[in-house]
Amino acid sequence: MPKTPFDQPSFHQHMPPELPLDKWQRLVNLIAVIYKSPGAWLMQANRTGIETLVVDNGPRNPFKPGDAVAQDVNIYCRHVITGNKPLYVRNADLEDCWEDNPEYKDHGFKSYLGVPIQWPDGTVFGTLCTMDTVETDYPGEYVELMHQLKYAIDGDLSQLVTARKLKELSLKDELTQLNNRRGFMDLARKMIQLARRNDFSISMTFFDLNGLKEINDTSGHQTGDRLIQAFARALIEATRIEDCAARMGGDEFVLLALQKTLPETDMLVNRVRQTFEAILADDPQITNPSFCFGTRTCGPSEPYTIDSLLLESDALMYEDKKRFKEGNGE
């Protein structure tokens, strides 16, 4: 959800497929019929300003989807959006504040009834409204009807937010908020396509935390969770925003990066190690945190797939794990 109404992207340009545009069209058509008005509209506040999203199909409507005005233009909907409250103007001829309103000045719309459309957190999405070229005096039931119709659109936006949250949960690891395996695979395929289109090199690093089982057995799973979360934080802090990090499960993590040579990847791993150790420096139950890793780097002309990168970096990690165990007498 946006922080402010005008932070939103344009739904006219990119309509989320989860939203029932045909339902909204029928609703707006119905408003124009019930109120016997020249037009009814569903408007959205977004980065372009105040944009027409849905218009009724009547012959007297002068606006079309995609028409927009800047957010500081004194149209009726601006007051609904900025005030986050309904507005009913019976006759703009009697109110001097509308003299510079282009809807009134240029199109003759002197009556307006509009209500805010809202996201679940109360942030304004836009407005549902109707205008007329003559003075109106709608009974209370008509004003209430507009509110009831707007609740239907509010509900659709609420379902969109829920659907997006469920999708995000399905792609995120709950403990670390990194990508899980499914989320990683989706992003990794896109990164590989990008690398091939632009002749970028690509590197996959497979990490395995040392001693997680022993920590869980001796200090409890809460301490083990702190180890996992600390490593995830180290990955986030030591890598670039365009890199793709994920927890694959248990104590295993991966990092996919574009345009990284093997020496550059080794430097990145050292940053992860230093950050990891610094995060846990004052934890009395976790001493000498460490990990093993393996990196597979491919140049633009080398054949590879996401599966081959995972398999090869995993095999290299196990070689490092073997050396680690031998060095510790295991």
pLDDT the model gives residue 286: 93
Give, in order, the Cα–Cα distances in Å from 230 to each of 13, 196, 211, 275. Answer: 41, 33, 14, 9
- 82 contacts 109 by C-beta, under 8 angstroms: no
CA–CA separation, 148 and 306 (whole Å): 50
Per the CB < 8 A criterion, the answer to whether 189 and 306 are in contact is: yes
pLDDT of residue 127: 99
Cβ atoms < 10 Å from Cβ of 7: 12
What confidence tens digit (pLDDT) does each residue in 235-269 have? 999 988 889 999 999 999 999 998 777 788 889 99
Residue 170 pLDDT:
77
Cα of first residue to Cα of last residue in the chain, in angstroms, is 51
What is the predicted pLDDT for the residue at 327? Answer: 81
Per-residue CA distances from 187 to 169, 171, 222, 244 (Å)? 15, 10, 30, 7
Residues 126, 12: contact at Cβ < 8 Å?
Answer: no
Q: Which CATH architecture has domain 5-170?
A: 2-Layer Sandwich (3.30)
Q: Domain spanning 181-327: which CATH class is it, in words?
A: alpha beta
Q: What is d(CA 297, CA 266) in angstroms, rounded to the nearest whole number?
A: 11
Task: Give domain limits for the chain.
Answer: 5-170, 181-327
Strand partners, 195: none
Rounded CA-CA distance 293/180 in Å is 18
Regions of the chain where pLDDT drops below 70: 169, 329-330
Q: pLDDT tens digits, residue range 140-160?
A: 999 999 999 999 999 999 999
